């Protein structure tokens, strides 16, 4: 079920009404309702994969309860490995089997021998990368005794499958989300209104910004040989806004929906395109994944402690693994590698934490230096996105060379609709700029008087219908 | 909670009002004429109505005979143009209609358009009968596609608001008006109609650009189609009727029509420019209508000399 579908527009009010009017008095019943709703939500796409999520939940639940009673360190390690092997095993099989099989075959071909591998016709279960990491965080935290294992099986199953963030995050930590299932939720007017605002802004990002940008990004990437350098650059910019609008839009809808049910999820995007360097960008982009890798991979590897080579190794490991998490394709690995290259000078220079506060805080406009820093960071990020979007490394390379050709300074080929999309991006950036110190761009409109606030809402809703782009599936569903 | 729900309700109402105003001011949807059903069971429009085409300052008018479009009856020879929404052509100004377009090539005859959305092949044949009685047409051009045939068989699926044929009982099943009062009401909610057109519910999931027009296409059935043509031979004047097949009509249907003695024109839409209005709107644009008329006149001209 997509958030921008009629199915969800019917589903959400039904669950909302049942949640607050029918099951409100009984916490257990409320959790059962959430669990049932989540399974319906997920099963709407393909009910067969419900068994996968149920099995994964069962394994981690029993690993958790067994860890509670296991004092023997060996036994604890075995239990942790059971969770890791099962979760990553599913992920590896469904997501990476074909990639590894083909890569092995290609490697053998390089050495002159032929190897035939059979490709499996596997459908990737939606959101497997997200809920796998969520359940893994539970097992690891319980193993490290940072979290008490739960005995409430309904709460645990609801935590794993919580429908707002099930298929595309934010990847919640058990420490934050699971305890929210233990305590009674109360309807808070301001939270619900904030939730609705965030859903509205998320829909705007997805339906108006991402879907409109997708039309041009697809057109330019699919026919990249026919365009000038300036148009190719514009295509990459369109893709940069498509992926941001698409993914952060989804996160906003997920967080907003959770607020309607009395849950607080972590912020997943903090206006990353206003970052002044690449380190700041990575603190603001897909925060739930970045922090997951930081806590469960980077720090266990030694983090930024140790010698220079250790730091370099850890930086490359985390970026390349993060790229690989996105998909079984060399383009994602290249994207991770490029970002590691961007990040490395900052880290080696100990300047990766220079820009930790919000840009131009307390001011209306940034200064010239900040403008230059933001533009440069956006430019290098956009070049990296070319590798993320391309079908293969060759296309990415040709596309990048095409951008840096002599035609980079020619007039880009722009249709009337493309100009309209650029105007929408400008409007979007202005709103995001003025809301950059909030959790989401339009959170601050609550201080405006009602005769300004409501026309603003109505304007956004009308734009949703008037400027709807060609419907596209959420990009992150494939991850 | 009640404050929250009340405010959501008020916001929805305000958004609806704004949307309704925008749709009406910018005429984002066409006005829909009201229908009536005559003694022969054929649905037509109430005469004397007028309204606007979508996104246009042009108006449509329902003529005294209850049809939209061209109605020239003061000629020695009149040619009937029968079909569904493509002929009704509520999406384009009347200058784009088949009657107007064909007139540019054949000026010594009158054209009479009888188009209405949802007309099936068998209903078109019933209309030929009516036109015969009314204005004694020389020829009838019947614009059809595969679906129009499949929708003619009541055994595939019974559409109560359309004329269909029951081959087992060898009889015509008359149409009934479906919820006319409700329709009158709904057509006044222009925003809902706009959303319905803009975000079609029945979209082919595999190819989102193809709007599903029918669910009764069970594949070509030779026995059924032979029965249909036998029925037509008994009840209608074959000599006068020319079937104009839309591009993409199944070959078997065209062949069996020819073999049963129909005059046939096969439209060919191959070329650089698309005939249709848009990705979600498969009806012909004015350009499409011009191209159709060009191909039809090449067949028609020698026939009426």
A170: preceding bond cis by omega (within 30 degrees):
yes
Angle between helices A27-46 and A6-17 (to 10 degrees): 170
For residue B209, the model assigns a pLDDT of 35
Q: Of A192, A454, A466, which is closest to B4 when you measure between CB atoms?
A: A192
Q: Of B11, B198, B201, which is closest to A6 when you measure between CB atoms?
A: B201
**Residue B5 contacts A where some CB pair is shorter than 8 Å:** no
ipTM for the whole complex:
0.75
For residue A475, the model assigns a pLDDT of 61
- How do residues A376-424 score in pLDDT, each as one tens digit? 999 999 999 999 999 889 999 999 999 998 888 888 887 878 888 999 9
Residue A465 and residue B4: Cβ atoms within 8 Å? no
**Residue A47 contacts B where some CB pair is shorter than 8 Å:** no
Residues contacting residue A475 through CB under 8 Å, at least 6 positions apart = A242, A243, A246, A247
Residue A153 clears pLDDT 60, i.e. is over it? yes
CA angle B202, B206, B209 (to 5 degrees): 60
CA angle A163, A165, A170 (to 5 degrees): 170
Within 8 A of B3 by CB-CB distance, chain A residues are 189
- Where helices occur in A92-228 by DSSP H, the ranges are 97-110, 128-143, 153-161, 174-182, 189-203, 211-222
Q: Of B4, B14, B19, which is closest to A454 when you measure between CB atoms?
A: B14
Within 8 A of A465 by CB-CB distance, chain B residues are 19, 195, 198
Quote the DSSP letter at residue A152.
Answer: -
* 3-class state of residue A440 by DSSP: coil
Within 8 A of A192 by CB-CB distance, chain B residues are 4
End-to-end alpha carbon distance in chain A: 16
For residue B217, the model assigns a pLDDT of 55
Residue B214 clears pLDDT 60, i.e. is over it? no
pLDDT higher at B1 or A371: A371
Residue A478 clears pLDDT 60, i.e. is over it? no
In this structure, is the dihedral angle defined by the CA atoms of residues B208, B211, B216 and B220, taken in order, positive or negative?
negative
Contacts made by residues B6-14, CB under 8 angstroms, sequence distance 24+: B7/A193, B8/A196, B11/A454, B11/A457, B11/A458, B14/A454, B14/A458
Pick from A151-155, B9-13, B185-189: least confident: B185-189
Within 8 A of A466 by CB-CB distance, chain B residues are 22
β-pair type (B110-115, B35-37): unpaired
- Average pLDDT in the A104-119 region? 73
Residue B14 and residue A458: Cβ atoms within 8 Å? yes
Closest C-alpha among B142, B123, B145, B285 to residue B214: B145
Among chain B residues, the shortest Cα distance to A472 is held by B208
- Where helices occur in A264-359 by DSSP H, the ranges are 278-284, 287-293, 308-326, 330-348
Choose, out of A18, A461, A462, A468, the residue to mutate when testing the contact with B (most B CBs < 10 Å): A461
Band (B212; pLDDT cuts 50, 70, 90):
very low
Within 8 A of B11 by CB-CB distance, chain A residues are 454, 457-458
Within 8 A of B193 by CB-CB distance, chain A residues are none
- Average pLDDT in the A440-445 region? 92
Residue A25 clears pLDDT 80, i.e. is over it? yes
- How do residues B128-143 score in pLDDT, each as one tens digit? 988 888 888 889 999 9
Per the annotation, the verdict on A286 as an active-site residue is no
CATH number at B2-303 = 3.40.50.1110
Within 8 A of A457 by CB-CB distance, chain B residues are 11
- How do residues B15-63 score in pLDDT, each as one tens digit? 999 989 988 888 888 788 888 888 778 888 989 888 887 777 778 889 8
Q: How far, in Å, CA of A389 to CA of A220, rounded?
A: 11
Among chain B residues, the shortest Cα distance to A196 is held by B8
Residue B198 and residue A465: Cβ atoms within 8 Å? yes
pLDDT higher at A266 or A99: A266
**Residue A468 contacts B where some CB pair is shorter than 8 Å:** yes
Q: How far, in Å, CA of B143 to CA of B89, rounded?
A: 12
Among chain B residues, the shortest Cα distance to A186 is held by B1
CA angle A57, A61, A62 (to 5 degrees): 120
- How do residues A312-369 score in pLDDT, each as one tens digit? 898 899 999 999 888 878 899 999 999 999 999 998 888 888 888 888 888 889 999 9
Q: How many CB pairs under 8 A join A and B?
A: 32
Q: How far, in Å, CA of B194 to CA of A54, rounded?
A: 42
Tell me the nearest-neighbour CA distance from A310 into chain B, angstroms. Answer: 50
Q: Of B11, B19, B198, which is closest to A457 when you measure between CB atoms?
A: B11
Within 8 A of B18 by CB-CB distance, chain A residues are 458, 462
Interface subset of A 178-207, CB within 8 angstroms of B: 187, 189, 192-193, 196
Among chain A residues, the shortest Cα distance to B200 is held by A6
**Residue B4 contacts A where some CB pair is shorter than 8 Å:** yes
Per the DSSP assignment, residues forming a β-bridge with B171 are: B166
**Residue A458 contacts B where some CB pair is shorter than 8 Å:** yes
β-pair type (B164-166, B171-173): antiparallel
Within 8 A of A470 by CB-CB distance, chain B residues are 279
For residue B285, the model assigns a pLDDT of 87
Angle between helices B2-25 and B190-198 (to 10 degrees): 80
For residue A281, the model assigns a pLDDT of 95
**Residue B13 contacts A where some CB pair is shorter than 8 Å:** no
Residues contacting residue A304 through CB under 8 Å, at least 6 positions apart = A311, A314, A347
Residue A187 and residue B22: Cβ atoms within 8 Å? no
User: Which helix (H) or strand (E) element contains residue B166?
Assistant: strand B164-166
Residue A471 and residue B208: Cβ atoms within 8 Å? yes
Residue B210 clears pLDDT 70, i.e. is over it? no
For residue B205, the model assigns a pLDDT of 41
**Residue A451 contacts B where some CB pair is shorter than 8 Å:** no
- How do residues A173-201 score in pLDDT, each as one tens digit? 999 999 999 998 999 999 999 999 999 99
For residue B175, the model assigns a pLDDT of 83
Residue A187 and residue B4: Cβ atoms within 8 Å? yes
For residue A317, the model assigns a pLDDT of 92
CA B32 to chain centre: 13
* 3-class state of residue B199 by DSSP: coil
Tell me the nearest-neighbour CA distance from B251 into chain A, angstroms. Answer: 33
Tell me the nearest-neighbour CA distance from B3 into chain A, angstroms. Answer: 8
- Average pLDDT in the A203-210 region? 93
Tell me the nearest-neighbour CA distance from B177 into chain A, angstroms. Answer: 29
Residue B3 and residue A189: Cβ atoms within 8 Å? yes
**Residue A111 contacts B where some CB pair is shorter than 8 Å:** no
In this structure, is the dihedral angle defined by the CA atoms of residues A272, A265, A322 and A53, taken in order, positive or negative?
negative
End-to-end alpha carbon distance in chain B: 77
User: Which helix (H) or strand (E) element contains residue A455?
Assistant: helix A450-466
In the predicted model, what is the mean pLDDT of chain B?
83
Give me the catalytic one of A173, A286, A326, A389: A326
CA angle A137, A141, A143 (to 5 degrees): 120
Within 8 A of A461 by CB-CB distance, chain B residues are 15
For residue B201, the model assigns a pLDDT of 55
Mean pLDDT is highest, among A3-7, A278-282, B166-170, for A278-282
**Residue A50 contacts B where some CB pair is shorter than 8 Å:** no
Among chain A residues, the shortest Cα distance to B202 is held by A6
For residue A474, the model assigns a pLDDT of 60
Tell me the nearest-neighbour CA distance from B7 into chain A, angstroms. Answer: 10
């Amino acid at each position: 079920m997509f958030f921008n579908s009629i199915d969800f527009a019917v589903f959400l009010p039904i669950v909302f009404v049942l949640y607050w009017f029918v099951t409100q008095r009984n916490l257990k019943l409320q959790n059962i309702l959430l669990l049932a709703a989540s399974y319906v939500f997920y099963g709407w796409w393909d009910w067969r994969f419900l068994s996968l999520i149920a099995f994964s939940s069962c394994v981690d639940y029993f690993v958790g309860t067994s860890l509670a009673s296991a004092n023997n360190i060996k036994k604890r390690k075995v239990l942790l490995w059971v969770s890791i092997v099962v979760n990553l095993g599913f992920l590896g099989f469904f997501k990476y089997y074909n990639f590894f099989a083909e890569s092995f075959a290609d490697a053998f071909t390089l050495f002159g021998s032929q190897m035939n591998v059979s490709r499996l016709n596997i459908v990737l279960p939606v959101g497997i990368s997200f809920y796998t990491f969520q359940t893994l965080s539970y097992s690891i935290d319980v193993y490290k005794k940072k979290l008490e294992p739960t005995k409430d099986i309904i709460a645990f199953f609801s935590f794993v499958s919580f429908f707002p963030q099930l298929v595309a995050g934010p990847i919640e930590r058990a420490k934050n989300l699971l305890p929210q299932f233990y305590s009674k939720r109360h309807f808070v007017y301001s939270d619900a209104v904030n939730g609705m605002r965030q859903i509205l802004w998320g829909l705007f990002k997805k339906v108006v910004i991402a879907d409109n940008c997708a039309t041009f990004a697809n057109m330019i990437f699919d026919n990249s040989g026919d365009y000038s350098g300036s148009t190719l650059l514009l295509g990459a910019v369109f893709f940069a806004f498509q992926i941001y609008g698409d993914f952060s839009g989804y996160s906003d809808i997920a967080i907003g929906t959770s607020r309607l049910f009395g849950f607080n999820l972590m912020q997943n995007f903090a206006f990353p395109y206003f970052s002044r360097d690449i380190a700041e960008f990575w603190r603001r982009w897909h925060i739930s994944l970045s922090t997951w890798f930081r806590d469960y991979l980077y720090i266990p590897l030694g983090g930024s402690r140790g010698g220079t080579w250790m730091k370099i190794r850890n930086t490359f490991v985390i970026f390349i693994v993060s790229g690989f998490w996105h998909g079984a394709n060399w383009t994602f690995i290249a994207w991770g590698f490029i970002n590691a290259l961007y990040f490395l000078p900052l880290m080696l220079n100990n300047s990766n934490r220079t820009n930790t506060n919000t840009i131009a805080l307390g001011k209306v406009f940034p200064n010239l230096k900040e403008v230059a820093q933001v533009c440069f960071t956006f430019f290098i990020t956009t070049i990296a996105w070319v590798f993320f979007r391309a079908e293969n490394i060759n296309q990415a390379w040709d596309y990048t060379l095409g951008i840096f050709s002599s035609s980079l300074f020619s007039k880009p080929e722009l249709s009337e609709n493309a100009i309209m999309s650029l105007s929408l991006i400008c409007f979007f950036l202005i709103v995001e700029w003025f809301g950059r110190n909030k959790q989401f761009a339009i959170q601050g409109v609550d201080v405006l008087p009602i005769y300004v606030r409501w026309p603003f809402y109505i304007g956004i809703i009308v734009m949703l219908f008037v400027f709807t782009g060609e419907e596209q599936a959420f990009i992150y569903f494939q991850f | 909670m009640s404050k929250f729900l009340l405010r959501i309700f008020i916001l929805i109402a305000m958004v609806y009002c704004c949307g309704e105003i925008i749709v009406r001011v910018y005429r984002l949807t066409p006005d829909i004429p009201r229908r009536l059903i005559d003694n022969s069971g054929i649905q037509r429009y109430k005469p004397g109505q007028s309204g606007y085409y979508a996104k246009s300052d042009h108006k449509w008018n329902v003529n005294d005979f209850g049809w939209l479009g061209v109605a020239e009856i003061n000629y020695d020879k009149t040619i009937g143009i029968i079909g569904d929404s493509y002929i009704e052509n509520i999406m384009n100004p009347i200058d784009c209609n088949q009657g107007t377009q064909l007139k540019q090539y054949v000026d010594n005859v009158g054209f009479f358009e009888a188009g209405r959305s949802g007309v099936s092949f068998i209903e078109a044949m019933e209309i030929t009968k009516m036109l015969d009685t009314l204005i004694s047409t020389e020829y009838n051009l019947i614009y059809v596609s595969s679906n129009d045939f499949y929708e003619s068989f009541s055994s595939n699926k019974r559409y109560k608001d359309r004329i269909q044929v029951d081959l087992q009982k060898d009889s015509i099943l008359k149409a009934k008006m479906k919820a006319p009062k409700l329709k009158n009401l709904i057509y006044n909610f222009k925003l809902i109609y706009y959303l319905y057109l803009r975000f079609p519910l029945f979209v082919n999931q595999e190819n989102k650009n193809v709007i599903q027009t029918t669910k009764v296409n069970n594949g070509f059935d030779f026995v059924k189609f032979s029965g249909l043509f036998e029925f037509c031979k008994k009840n209608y004047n074959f000599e006068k009727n020319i079937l104009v097949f839309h591009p993409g009509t199944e070959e078997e249907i065209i062949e069996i029509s020819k073999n049963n003695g129909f005059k046939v024109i096969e439209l060919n839409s191959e070329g650089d420019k698309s005939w249709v209005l848009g990705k979600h709107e498969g009806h012909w644009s004015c350009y499409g209508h011009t191209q159709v008329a060009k191909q039809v006149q090449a067949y028609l001209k020698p026939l009426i000399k």
